[in-house]
Structure 1
Amino acid sequence: MQDYRLLKLELEKRYSHLAWMASPGSGVNLPALDRQAQAMLARARDNAEARQAILYFQNGFRDGHFSSIKPVTEPSSAAAEPPKRDLSRDNALDGCASLGYVNGNGGAFSLPFETLPGVRLTADGLALPMRSGIADLGAAGKLALLRIPSFNPRNYPQLCQQAWQAMLERGDRLDPDKLFTDIMRAWYRETAQRLRELRSAGTRALIVDIGDNPGGNDSGDAMSRLLGSGPVRSAPLWLARSPQGEAYLREWIENLSAGLPPEATAEDKAVLQPFLDAFRAQASQLRQAPPVDMSWVWREQRAFDPGAARSRLVQVAYASGAVDHLEPGRYSKIVSEALFWPAQSFGSQGAWQGPVYLLTNGQTYSAAEMFAAVSRDNRLAKTVGQRTGGDGCGFMSKMQPLVLPHSGLSFRIPDCVRLRADGSDEVAGIAPDLPVDAAPGESRRAMAQKTLLAIAADLAPLP
């Protein structure tokens, strides 16, 4: 029972989605969940049953980022650790592999469109990153298909190898962080080029397949800007009033001051100064804010209001950085990329012009949900398939696991919230505009065909 009380106390202190979970809109009844977990603990005959009661409680939140993890064990002896690899001696193939770039999520579509008549591939997702193709639906026209299996750039070793080789040819010193940035830019360029090629092939609409996509980094926000030409606004970012929230603000302060690249000019620093001052002021306010009693969540449900004191949340800019939108050319490259992370996609934005459908399912998580939410809320795309898994925003600062001393259970506790346009928490998942569910006994091929036909019907002009 002591572990259970500690877990609840830590959730009250730092779990960012707690106020949402305590609202009727979440579909989670925390008072009932708490009562059930306590009853299970009271009946527990041994430690194993007590652990199961705590895990039952955690699973009841239906938040993939709030999850149990294996405790990290430190190596027993530094002498047993092999020496670090000298990356300067590696070629692109070996170097990218040693840094962990691996095509780990496969290249196939989440539904087997490849097996349907009238579908041909334009890229297999192996020789080139991301599988793509065209589905010829006859009188309904052609649909472009693009598979994004992951929003983690480390799952695209092809792009790493290209960026590595380019770095060697320039004579640059091998820098893994600089390499990662180059890969991000290359990924946006590659995606934009693929979209333009698909559009020029006479397709009338685009399907971006993010089914079974586990997420990745904040590229989910930037990638939405490749769809359409209108202004895109990023989601407001809210953090728990906690040490993790303070750490995120300190990171901003560092990045906008001592963390600037050496080539930053005095003009760059002058432009950034008001943003730096704002983050410093917010960090000071957060440190001085009185503690918030969140124990009400175990007794009652209340409407979700992130700005209310009872929610223990504070808005810290946006999911895209310090601003929610930035026009290319307004600031220098250094300023733009310091303030607005999607600036790395400048030059690739608006690559696709036309209707867009995002294919989602219950295994669409995290950054993939970010992509779906931003695209949907900015009316860039419709969603088709099933509701996403409901991870929402996870961690904006270094994840600090909670280890329960008696049971040995260890948990990740998310520290951030991305708000939807309707004011809900993205952790609720993104419901499809065009639901496509499997009938009893229906094959995955039939589901793929049903999905294409649902999109074709949506594209058909009204009688």
Structure 2
Amino acid sequence: MMYHAAARVRKVHRRTGCGRHRSHMSETQSGGDSLPKETRKRGRKVFRWIGIGLLSIVLGLLGWDVATFDRGAWQRDFEALEVAMAKEYANLDWMVEHRGVDLAKLDRDTRASLGGAFTRVQAFLALRRFVRTFQDPHFKLTGGAGRPSAPPSDNGAAPPAPVASCTAAGYEARPVDSRFPFKKMPGFTAVHEAPFPAGVAGELGVIRIAHFGEDKYLATCEAVFTTGLDEDALRAGVRAKLQEALQTAIGALRDRGAKRLLVDLTGNGGGTEWVSEAVPLFTGGTLRRSKARIVSPSCDRTPVWKGEKVCSIFGEPPGTAMLEGKNVWKGPLFVLVDRGTGSASEDFVAWLKDNHTATILGARTAGAGCGYVNGGGRVQLREIGFEVRMPNCARFLADGTNEVEGIAPDVALPLDKSDGEKITALTAAIAATRD
């Protein structure tokens, strides 16, 4: 009896002790949970106050914008823009005649939007819509006043100052690798590195020209830079070095047995007139095409914004431009292009396409066309602090199409597909043109 009673007491004590332990653990856990809850509460308060502060700033800026907005300044600058466009925007007539842009309606709509604007944001959006209506990569609105174009040289002016370095002259290192997966082609072997990567796959040679602006090849610039060179002399030296490298790459492909050559211009957004030196390396014949047309109206064209007929934005019809081939490459030629191929690259394509010297593969080009001759057209919107740049030249293909419409390939390729599909399509396109 005494044994059972003692056992019961020990059981009671064990249960009581366990109960106290569980109670203690519960209190500890409860206390531990309360700390994160307090922290979360404080965090929510901090974020709430931050949100209130940001909202106050936004409302304050909006109030300041409304209070200081000068609608008249935007309207006056817009009128100045239209006057400049009427006589300096090379593609204006094309946009009306071939894209159906209704200038009178566009003028009315933009004026109405500016007249109903109460903030700079509203006015800016109206002006941006106006510019974007033309869908011209060379016609663009930029923030801030840009650098004015250089005045014509004067024989009595001081000689140009030497540049301190390539970077000081604006040269930069840009990637030169291809977008297209050539390295996955069966048997592809690299034979030349930057600035013009090249390789062979069987009898096909591939050469990549990533840029037609010499200022995108910093390493080449640094290889020719010497103290005392001015910008013009440095530019000439870089171009000569690039031409040498391009000829070397073509020669390396030829020496490795390439019988057909593909020039990869995908993503090449253009550059300078250096393109006219590069084109002749890929042919042995004489190339001809119409010269670029430069704006030179013979009348006041501002009534064009009322839908009235005015004189052409161009002067006399241009003559014929010619390039003599250098015969560095003599075999069948292909050029690969895409929506990123524009401006000077389209000039490269047009020379070869119009003269039936190359087969163009890929997708329609960007439609940038001719750009800025001697700085192009520039309108300083001084009152509102913006600048509008516009092309003052236009190039036309043999069929009369403005390059601003882009250049269609002779053979379209599925450049948005998998690497395998792209390679298969490219191989088939080249095989189909085999002599």
Relative to the length of structure 1, the TM-score reads 0.67
Aligned match of 2:427: 453
Deviating more after overlay: 27-36 vs 224-233: 27-36
Shift of 1:401: 2.6
Would you say 1:131 and 2:131 are equivalent positions? Answer: no
Q: Secondary structure at the match of 2:263?
A: strand
Shift of 1:450: 4.2
| Letter paired with 1:434 | V
| Letter paired with 1:386 | A
Question: Which of 173, 184, 199 does residue 103 from structure 1 map onto?
Answer: 173
Shift of 1:123: 2.2
| Letter paired with 1:313 | F
C-alpha distance in 2 between matches for 1:409 and 1:212 = 28
Aligned match of 2:322: 325
Change (3 A) 1:185 1:315: farther
Aligned match of 1:69: 142
C-alpha distance in 2 between matches for 1:431 and 1:451 = 17
Q: Secondary structure at the match of 2:124?
A: helix
Question: Residues 45-444 of structure 1 correspond to what in structure 2 (within 5 A)?
Answer: 45-72=118-145, 95-104=165-174, 106-125=175-194, 129-136=195-202, 142-164=203-225, 174-241=229-296, 289=298, 291-293=299-301, 295-296=303-304, 299=307, 310-315=311-316, 324-325=321-322, 349-399=326-376, 401-438=378-415, 442-443=417-418
Q: Which has the higher contact order (CA 8 A, sep 6+)?
A: 1
Question: Which of 91, 97, 100 does residue 23 from structure 1 map onto?
Answer: 97
Q: Secondary structure at the match of 2:126?
A: helix
For the Cα contact (< 8 Å) 1:12–1:294, is it kept in 2? Answer: yes
Change (3 A) 1:43 1:360: farther
Aligned match of 1:267: none
**Greater gyration radius:** 2
Shift of 1:316: 8.4
Shift of 1:176: 3.8
Q: Secondary structure at the match of 1:453?
A: helix
| Letter paired with 1:147 | R
For the Cα contact (< 8 Å) 1:121–1:132, is it kept in 2? Answer: yes
Aligned residue pairs: how many? 348
Change (3 A) 1:408 1:447: farther
Q: Deviations over 1:31-73 (max 9, x none)?
A: 5654554564465453312211211111121111110122237
Across the aligned residues of Structure 1 and Structure 2, the Cα RMSD in angstroms comes to 3.0
For the Cα contact (< 8 Å) 1:239–1:314, is it kept in 2? Answer: yes
Q: Deviations over 1:99-134 (max 9, x none)?
A: 333322x02102222244432212232xxx111111
For the Cα contact (< 8 Å) 1:133–1:144, is it kept in 2? Answer: yes
Q: Secondary structure at the match of 1:233?
A: strand
C-alpha distance in 1 between matches for 2:146 and 2:305 = 34
For the Cα contact (< 8 Å) 2:413–2:422, is it kept in 1? Answer: no
C-alpha distance in 1 between matches for 2:100 and 2:246 = 37
Aligned match of 1:247: none
Q: Which runs of 5+ in 2 are unaligned?
A: 1-74, 148-160
C-alpha distance in 2 between matches for 1:153 and 1:316 = 31
Shift of 1:145: 0.9
Change (3 A) 1:42 1:384: farther
Change (3 A) 1:191 1:103: same
Shift of 1:210: 1.0
Change (3 A) 1:101 1:299: same
C-alpha distance in 2 between matches for 1:221 and 1:119 = 30
Shift of 1:399: 4.1
Change (3 A) 1:315 1:395: farther
Change (3 A) 1:446 1:61: farther
| Letter paired with 2:427 | L
Q: Secondary structure at the match of 1:310?
A: coil
C-alpha distance in 1 between matches for 2:327 and 2:101 = 39
C-alpha distance in 1 between matches for 2:193 and 2:323 = 34
For the Cα contact (< 8 Å) 2:172–2:217, is it kept in 1? Answer: yes
